[in-house]
Structure 1
Amino acid sequence: MKRSQIDPKFPLAVNGVYETTAYADLSSVDNLETCSGGYSSIPSFDPVETTDAKSTNFCSKKRTSRRPWTIKDADMECISRSMEHVWKKTILPILESFVDMEPLRDPRIAYWIEELTQTHENLMLLQGSPQKQISESCSSLNRVCENSEWVPLRESWIFTLWKSESIKALLEAQNFRCSGCGIRVEKEYLKRVNIFYICFFFMQISRYCDYYGKVFCQCCHQGSKSTIPARILHTWNFNEFPVCDLASHFLTEVHDVPAIHINHVAPHIIEKVRVLKNVIMLREKLSYMWDFIKNCPDAEHTVTKYGNLRTLFTSLEHHILHSLDLFSLSDLIRVHNKDMGSLLEPIVYYARCHIETCKHCRQFAATCAYCEDAQEVLFPFQLEKVYKCSKCASLSHLKCQAKFRRKVSNQTGCKKCLRVHKDK
């Protein structure tokens, strides 16, 4: 006989004890009392004298056959209710107590916490969705964690221009798994893809991300589109292409972050795109002009058509004046639309007019290191006619520097650098 009692402290556990033979091992009673923590609700072990040895729940049986594991409708509903119970009783109170302990100062963290508290709505099964379809999809598609066949992607800058390949080749390279979540496509789908349903498979089962160059499932790729940094830097293409949700989130977050050094990533694009080359030249002029404007007391009181001259410089972003080849995605879009050029040209014009006529600014002008013509002063922002030595920072005419280079072809630098080198 089996005696069962419900422990009020553990309502989901049933304390069942079987009556066994007289020669049963009484040491198991001590183990049972020790594991139970000494609760009085657990019935004592009463041995009964009998000659029939009955099987107990402590004995293990070997299964003769194994049935495939299937998910029934009742099981799915039970899982859904248990997930909701665990979330409301355990996880949600922990998050709320964490927020109540100390107010969150960073609005981004507060937004993440609020978004996390609403995550259980996405984890629960939809009431309107048929449970039969969910069980069938679970049998055909298997989600896996990080293993040797699949490694989750990370949010990072990618400047590689991917080659166009077929969906079949990409799936084979990905071990027939989604690059975002690791969901696996079974052979039944692949047979249909290879024969008849390539277009249907591409639209309904998998989607291509132009940023990562990989295939994603519909859950990880909901059809978002964005400009691709690699296409901008290599082909100057600003069209929007399909990207996965991970790439869409990352590109949105870093849209205004200056992180693209064009001279390191794609130096060839500067010579090919005239508008980009013009903007880089304007930024170089502004960087030289700022050295004069920030030290000139008259520049603070100089008013132009667009406002105070020094304010025009301080209103610009820091990387525009101090990093010539550093751009963000929004900067490149403004360059393509010619908005940045129209913004910088008036500032360059008014700053040049002020510096060339200001008595205080002209004190820092230089003469040519070759011809030493005192009638003409040179400024470093006069890129059309002035050469600035990269070693000693001396200024000279471009034509004078060209004559010197023809005479001394095996030396680097300028005439002043050569004279210093000979003195050593």
Structure 2
Amino acid sequence: MSSVSSDVFLEDEKLQQGADANFVEMQVFDIIDQARRDNGNLTRKEEIRLAVDLCKEKLRLLSESDETDDRRLRQGYLDKLVQLGLEKQTIDDEDNENEEVIRVRDHSFVIQPIRGRNPTCEVCMTTIWKLMHAWRRCKYCGLRTHSSCTSSVGRMCASSIVTRHDFALTMTICEEKGLAAQNYRCHECARPLSFEGSSAVEPRLCDYSGFYFCSSCHWNDQMSIPARMLHNLDSEPRPVSRASKQLLTMIDNRPLIPLGSANPMLIKLNSSLKRINRIRSDFLFMKCYFVSCRTARQLRILQYLCRHQHFVESSDVYTMAEMRDIVSGKLLEEMEDIHQVFLKHITEECETCKGNAFVCELCPDKQIIFPFSDNVSMCCKCLAVFHHKCFELRSRFCPRCERRSKRAPPEEIDPNERL
């Protein structure tokens, strides 16, 4: 009997929800129909805006009520808001696909909305009054201009520079070349510069490129300099030109700083860097275990390094963001935590990974070891792992390679090994 009553109650609830949804639809239809009569050129986006305003107002009025009927009606308005939001997003996406794109010096300028603060045009250096002026923004580097100024843009788009096959960051600390080397002109726009006179002609040094710029091309933006981080672990922001700022912002999360090869002594002298370098080397070994482990693939354990995907591809390069985290100490803490998770999975939790461990064949100790264990050495030919002392005492002799050479046919044996 109670089961029948429950079914009847659920059926009545569904009917009431359907009635509430129809009521909301009728209200939205009425307000749009009235607006169409007043304005025959009403667009669908304007109709959606009217319907959204109606639903928000009704929700405001119903927010203080806690009656069952009002709760159902409130849910009907919320569902309608979600539906209208999805429809508006679809229309916006279609508009963006069809929007006019102006391409100048590899920039892709698209028209921008009037909401938000009024930016500065980076060509004529005047304020863009959005209510009065149409303005555009490059989709890639973010350069902002009046629509009428796009044809006068002289700066190449930073995205086209960083995507060149021969692009490389400047890894030498810039030397001040002096204004005479630039013929007393701005490096970008060739405007005359002088240390004497008004601020409009005052030269400003870019700490990334080493060139002087005018106040229109150099807004005293502050950025960390890759060369100073590479050589001195100095992440202090310094003034750079607009072009340099856009370039450095674009490559902030790209692994382009070859710390291991460009400055290996820094790793040896800095304990934090030395530990990070060891952890990254361990990650490369651990990746070999994870790609052959079904459990690790199901757990997606490598997703712990989603912000540092290049850590499982090489142990040499860093991003600018990572270099700043090295200076602040954040990167070492993060890597230690991830290293412990990986180590626990391989050495304790997963039988498959533990089954791929090694035992040193050069001593009686049968404790399992891994390529990332402390004080171990690896045969460069067969990749077998031994205790470091055992391997060195036996003059780096590998019994595994010896067994393989004995099993191999004579013609496959290296002539040098035969001798």
TM-score bracket for this pair, using the shorter chain length: 0.5 to 0.7
How far the C-alpha of 1:416 sits from its partner, in A, is 6.3
Q: Distance in 2 between the 1:338 and 1:121 partners? A: 38
Distance 1:392 1:183, change over 3 A: farther
1:310 to 294, 298, 301: 301
Give the AA of the match of 2:310. Answer: H
The answer to whether 1:170 aligns with 2:182 is: no
For the residue of structure 1 that corresponds to 2:213, the secondary structure is strand
Whether the 8 Å CA contact 1:256–1:328 is kept in 2: the answer is: yes
What whole-Å deviation, never above 9, does each CA across 1:65-87 have from its counterpart, x for those lacking one? xxxxxxxxxxxxxxxxxxxxxxx
Between stretches 253-262 and 221-230, larger displacement belongs to: 253-262
Per-residue Cα deviation, 1:219-267 (whole angstroms, up to 9, x for no partner)? 1111111000000001110101110111011111111112222223322
Structure-2 separation of matches of 1:298 and 1:100:
45
Q: Output the CA distance in 2 between the equivalents of 1:293 and 1:344.
A: 17
Task: Output the CA distance in 2 between the equivalents of 1:277 and 1:368.
Answer: 27
Q: Of 305, 312, 331, which aligns to 1:340?
A: 331
Residue type at the aligned position of 1:208 = L
SS at match of 2:189: coil
**TM-score, normalisation: structure 2:** 0.55
Structure 2: stretches of 5+ with no match in the other structure: 1-93, 113-117, 128-153, 406-413
Q: 2:251 aligns with which of 237, 249, 254?
A: 254
Structure (1/2) with the larger helix percentage: 2
Aligned to 1:395: 385
The percent of aligned pairs where both chains have the same amino acid is 24
Q: Offset at 1:367?
A: 2.7
Partner Cα distance (2:378, 2:359) in 1? 12
Aligned-pair distance for 1:110?
10
Answer whether contact 1:309 1:350 (CA < 8 A) is retained.
no
Which residue does 2:140 correspond to in 1?
none
Residues 178-200 of structure 1 show CA distances to partners (whole Å, capped at 9, x for unaligned) of 11112234xxx5xxx5xxx5xx7
The equivalences for 1:73-88 within 5 A come to none
| CA shift for structure 1 position 396 | 1.8
Number of equivalences: 274
Whole-angstrom distance in 2 between the partners of 1:330 and 1:270: 18
Residues 319 and 240 of structure 1: CA distance in aligned 2, closer, same or farther (over 3 Å) = same
2:347 aligned residue (356, 361, 369): 356
Shift of 1:374: 5.9
The equivalent of 2:171 in structure 1 is 159
- If the length of structure 1 is used for normalisation, what is the TM-score? 0.54
Any idea what SS the aligned residue of 1:222 has?
coil
Could you tell me how far apart the structure 2 residues matched to 1:248 and 1:211 are? 9
The question of whether the paired residues in 1 share the 8 Å contact of 2:184 and 2:192 is answered with yes
The structure 2 residue matched to 1:287, chosen from 284, 291, 294, is 284
CA distance 1:391–1:222, change in 2 (3 Å): same
Instruction: Please tell me the residue identity of whatever aligns with 1:180.
Output: E
**How far did residue 104 of structure 1 move?**
5.9
CA contact (8 A) 2:200 2:214 kept: no
Residue aligned with 1:225, SS? strand
SS at match of 2:357: coil
- SS of residue paired to 1:159: coil
Deviation at 1:311, TM superposition (A): 6.0
Q: Would you say 1:321 and 2:312 are equivalent positions?
A: yes
1:75 — aligned with what? none
Q: 1:390 to 1:178 in 2, by over 3 A?
A: farther
Inter-CA distance 232–417: structure 2 relative to 1 (3 Å threshold): farther
Q: Cα–Cα, structure 1 residues 316 and 100, in superposed 2: closer, same or farther, change >3 Å?
A: closer
**Within 5 A, what are the aligned runs for 1:19-418?**
103=98, 112-114=109-111, 157-163=169-175, 165=176, 170-185=178-193, 189=194, 193=195, 197=196, 205-299=202-296, 310=301, 313=304, 315-357=306-348, 358-368=350-360, 371-373=362-364, 375-382=366-373, 384-405=374-395
| Alpha carbons of structure 1 residues 294 and 417: separation in structure 2 relative to 1, 3 Å | closer
Instruction: Specify the structure having the higher radius of gyration (Cα).
Output: 1
**Structure 1 residues not aligned, in runs of 5+:** 1-98, 128-144, 147-152, 302-307
Assess if the C-alpha contact under 8 Å between 2:220 and 2:239 holds in 1.
yes
CA distance in 2, matches of 1:224, 1:334: 21
Kindly indicate whether the alpha-carbon contact (under 8 Å) linking 1:367 and 1:373 is maintained by their aligned counterparts in 2. no
Superposed CA deviations along residues 296-337 of structure 1, whole A, max 9, x for unmatched, are 344468xxxxxx682654645321222211211111112222
Query: Structure 1's 294 and 104: CA in aligned 2 closer, same or farther, altered over 3 A?
Result: farther
CA contact (8 A) 1:331 1:340 kept: yes
